[in-house]
Amino acid sequence: MRVIDAFVESLDVIEMGFDKARTAATGRRPYHPGDLLKLYIYAYLNQTSSTRRLEKECHRNL
């Protein structure tokens, strides 16, 4: 959903306290907090509480 994408992109996730948005130079990079927030909002709006259903939705909406 583009509305969710535009909303989350307008937020400053580092200022909101998601300090893991800045990653160290070592190790694998974690998921960006904005991407996880988009996924959480999408699941909430579509009343999807099951992670398996959410996974199917992610594959369907790539």
What's the pLDDT score for residue 17? 82
Q: 10 Å Cβ neighbour count for 8?
A: 19
Cα 60–chain centre separation: 16
Q: Where are the domains of the chain?
A: 2-19+29-60
What's the pLDDT score for residue 57? 83
Distance of alpha carbon 10 from alpha carbon 49, whole angstroms? 26
Chain segment 12-35, per-residue pLDDT in tens: 887 888 776 666 677 777 778 888
What's the pLDDT score for residue 62? 66
